[in-house]
Amino acid sequence: MMLQRKNRRALALGVLAVSGALALTACGSDNNSGGGSGKSSSAAAAPGNIKCGDAQGQLQASGSSAQKNAIDAWNTQYGQACKGVQLNYNPTGSGAGITAFLQGQTAFAGSDSPLKPEEIAQSKKVCSGGQAIDLPMVGGPIAIGFNVPGVDNLVLDPSTLAKIFNGKIANWNDAAIKKLNPSAKLPDLKIQAFHRSDESGTTDNFTKYLIATAKSDWPYSGGKSWQAKGGQSAQGSSGLAQQVKQTPGAISYFELSYATDGVKTVDLKTAAATPAKATAENASKAIASAQVVGTGKDLALKLNYEPKEDGAYPLTLVTYEIACDKGNKAATLPAVKSFLSYIASEDGQKMLTDASYAPIPNEIISKVRTTIEGLS
């Protein structure tokens, strides 16, 4: 909690600084606005092995709300080291972030789902001589938060979870929930299931999990937009977490870092003997079995939603930073490479665990580092 309060204060200061300056974007002016800063355009390795290089000016980015708390933590450290750069990250959601990037409004985007083929094709218009690529950077569990008075521990399996969010199970004392939780005092209380109102990579990953593990109870194709009928909605992961906090009978899905202030999370029944808890460590166990399916410099992953390892938490997501492999604007390229290099570094990845995220496995993050070095 203390870390999150510090991060929010740091972000607030960064936003104030950004508001009075002209933002440089991926397709913005080639003019370098950092000339009047009074700072050297080249710096030695900064504290914490953060290399600023020629990075300076305003850096606009947007997208995934899942990684907001990670970005805040990183930005606090990066901003102290590279004082000539001001990062403004707007957690608009994965869909909006990709749209803004493809329209040339941002230098990079965050998305909890890899780019679609048509989005890669469209990116060639803003990445001169290149295309957008997926760089996996943040891992973590999608927690199922619940607010059931008198119940502190709750176990659900994929089928029951799908039926709850598909409106087929409407009360907390339903027989299916009782069977999974024989010792719990489940109340006669209506279930209030909340989903994202905006296009969301978290929704995409949550529904991919249901499709992979409970297809007969989740007859939808999936995607960033919520497809099931009924339920209630809220904007962003923070909006869903707030609804769970304040609504008796509520259940929703959001990243573990949003499960704060006493929000309880579901343990998921898997093939293992013991239900898996939503922890960063357990998510890392599942993500370690992911496969790289991107081609060329693209590092999109295929997640394993049915891990067999004891303790592996199956409902995970990976947030990608989306950038041009070639054709980045000269004004923003140094800052993009500097910031992305830091967050992919050993020091940057170590910060994720403290913020309730899971670091990207070494085999994958090493490829990310090499790819970032080659951005041009």
Instruction: Give strand pairing partners of 87.
Output: 59
Provide the pLDDT for residue 308: 87
**Residue pLDDT, tens place only, 223-265:** 999 999 999 999 999 999 999 999 999 999 999 989 988 999 9
CB-based contact 211:158 (threshold 8 Å): no
Provide the pLDDT for residue 320: 98
* Global model pTM greater than 0.85: no
pLDDT above 70 covers a percentage of the chain that reads 87
Q: Tell me, letter by letter, the H, E, C secondary structure of the chain.
A: CHHHHHHHHHHHHHHHHHHCCCCCCCCCCCCCHHHHHCCCCCEEEEHHHEEEECCCEEEEEEECCCCHHHHHHHHHHHHHHCCCEEEEEECCCHHHHHHHHHCCCCCEEEECCCCCHHHHHHHCCCCCCCCEEEEEEEEEEEEEEECCCCCCCCEECHHHHHHHHCCCCCECCCHHHHHHCCCCCCCCCECEEEEECCCCHHHHHHHHHHHHHCHHHCCCCCCCCCCCCCCEEECHHHHHHHHHHHCCCEEEEEEHHHCCCCCEECEECCCCCCCECCCHHHHHHHHCCCEECCCCCCCCEECCCCCCCCCCCCCEEEEEEEEECCCCCCCCHHHHHHHHHHHHCHHHHHHHHHCCCECCCHHHHHHHHHHHHCCC
CB-based contact 320:119 (threshold 8 Å): no
Q: How many other CB atoms are found less than 10 A from the CB of residue 118?
A: 8
Q: How far apart are CA 52 and CA 268, in angstroms?
A: 42
Kindly compute the dihedral angle of the four CA atoms of residues 167, 170, 175, 176, in this order, to the nearest 10 degrees: 30
Indicate the burial class of 189 (C-beta count within 10 angstroms; 0-12, 13-18, 19 or more). Answer: middle
Q: What are phi and psi of 329, to 5 degrees?
A: -70, 140
* Distances from the Cα of 283 to the Cα of 96, 137, 244, angstroms: 26, 14, 22
CB-based contact 250:151 (threshold 8 Å): no
Provide the token pair at 265.
Answer: 């999370």
CB-based contact 325:375 (threshold 8 Å): yes
CB-based contact 311:274 (threshold 8 Å): yes
**Residue pLDDT, tens place only, 34-73:** 333 333 333 334 455 899 999 999 999 999 988 999 999 9
Q: How far apart are CA 92 and CA 103, in angstroms?
A: 15
- Looking up tokens 């600084």 gives 17
Provide the pLDDT for residue 24: 33
Which parts of the chain have pLDDT scores under 70?
Answer: 1-48
Domains of the chain: 2-29+45-138+321-373 (3.40.190.10), 141-285 (3.40.190.10)
pLDDT above 90 covers a percentage of the chain that reads 81
Q: How far apart are CA 331 and CA 335, in angstroms?
A: 8
Provide the pLDDT for residue 49: 83
Q: Are strands 132-146 and 316-324 parallel, antiparallel or unpaired?
A: antiparallel
